[in-house]
A and B are shown apart, each in its own frame.
Chain A
Amino acid sequence: MANKGWDEFEIGAMLRTFDGSIDDIAGTSQEDRSYSENSSYTASVADWRLIKPVFNKDYCIDCQFCWIYCPDVSIISRDKKLIGVDMDHCKGCGICVEVCPTNPKSLLMYDEHDDEETVIANWPKKDEEEA
């Protein structure tokens, strides 16, 4: 949102999350909501990251630990299935990787610039010691 003049925004110390009205927020997925330009949902913190999580659905058991422990609402889960990571909102904290229970993990941290397809093709094998 460009820096507007004093006469170009609504009064008060106030912001609106949505454009227009929204009937059942708790029953509407984020992708179906009409966020305004003032919702941080429309912003990105991708440039915070130095490392990023890569999701490998081959090993994922949809346990949802990463979904619940992600501080940034960046693990996208729909109908109880892990879809992926919201790379606009992920800050690269690494919690998802730490809480992932599978062996090998279904999420691992890689350098921000690594190519995901390559990384997934070279995914580490099961750790026999841990297993």
Chain B
Amino acid sequence: MSEMKKIKNLKEFSTSADRFEGANLLCPGCAHSIIVREVLNATNDDLVLSASTGCLEVCTSVYPYTSWDASWIHIGFENGSTAVAGAEAMHKALKNKGRLKQPDRNPKFVSFAGDGASYDIGFQWISGCMERGHNMMHVVLDNEVYANTGGQRSSSTPIGSSATTSPAGRVSYGEKRNKKDMLSIMAAHHIPYAAQVAPNKWKDMVKKIQKGFAVDGPVFINAVSPCTTEWKFDPKDTMMLTDLATDSLVFPLYEIIDGRELNITYRPKNVVPVEEYLAAQGRFKHLFKDEYKYLIKEWQERVDENWAYLNRREEARV
């Protein structure tokens, strides 16, 4: 087992040599790449990566350019996680048979996928990987829609969000269903580690990624990825949006160990009203019409209730 990379502070972290390249096709201001950079820079070990079909995959691997400085595979939409699981199995096999080209290295196996690829079409595949105990990490780049194809709803799309297949209109306020609690579902596989992260709280995120790399077994990470194009805000405001997401507790940051122990890892000094979070995004602007303002109230209640629930679990050590 190789030593964990030491990252005391941001200055130390900044000495990382990125293994993800620019001049890709991602939108200016895309949070996906911020997340990917933090994940890849959390370790100095070799990496075997995958991405499911989606923004990250498409924008970083259109022939003849690749933005990946580590081995990387894309097969399809559902199966990015299984691709990495297969590679991990091959690594195990070759290690046992003494056929690894660089036998002393300890590669990390990471699959990246959007919320659509993870919560919906790839759900079974990820569940299989988590259940089988592969030594891998699945990172969800959660922008709450199928962004790459123009912003259709996924089971991660929250109530009141206007997506193209659940659009706000004269008689609709958009998405009717609440967001799927994917983290709980994955944690229920009793994987050693599951966590929600946000790229603005880089230290919290990097710590969790390192924890994930250190455990033996499957890890599930849900990373909030505010999408300038689909959430409808100015590209320069990506980090501001992420701050609102974490500080309003819409995206609470916590971890679940072995599926049975929940720890909240970030408590904002000043909790921001959910309304501020919603007001900053075009996809929620219709909620500020008189007839839909009650939804904002419901939003706040839901977020408060969820926060109380997380606190109860933390206190009860479950």
Contacts and interface: CB of A to CB of B under 8 A. Distances in A.
On whether A and B touch (CB less than 8 Å), the answer reads yes
B65 A38 contact: yes
B235 interface: yes
B11 A64 contact: yes
B34 interface: yes
A94 B14 contact: no
Interface residues of A, dominant DSSP: loop
Given A26-B44, A63-B10, A68-B37, A41 B21 contact: yes
Nearest to B24: A40
11 contacts: A15-B65, A17-B68, A26-B45, A27-B44, A39-B65, A43-B65, A68-B34, A69-B34, A71-B34, A80-B11, A98-B236
Interface string A60-73: 00111101111111
A48 B239 contact: no
B31 A40 contact: no
Given A26-B19, A71-B33, 12 more contacts: A30-B17, A38-B64, A38-B65, A43-B23, A45-B22, A69-B199, A71-B238, A73-B18, A73-B21, A73-B22, A93-B238, A98-B240
Contacts of B15: 77-80
Interface in B3-17: 10-17
A29 B10 contact: no
A88 B10 CA distance: 25
Interface of A: 1, 9, 13, 15, 17-18, 25-30, 33, 37-45, 48, 62-65, 67-74, 77-80, 86, 88-95, 97-99, 109
A15 B61 contact: yes
B29 A80 contact: no
Contact of A15 (B13, B24, B64, B239): B64
Interface of B: 10-24, 26, 28-34, 37-38, 43-46, 60-61, 63-70, 199-200, 202, 234-240
B6 to A, nearest CB: 13
A25 B69 contact: yes
Q: What 6 A-B pairs have minimum CB-CB distances, sorted nearest first? A: A94-B236, A89-B22, A93-B28, A72-B22, A91-B28, A93-B29
A124 to B, nearest CB: 17
Contacts of B10: 63-65, 67-68
Contacts of B29: 71, 91, 93-95
Contacts of A25: 17, 19, 46, 69-70
B64 A89 contact: no
Given A26-B19, A39-B66, A71-B30, A77 B238 contact: no
Contacts of A18: 69
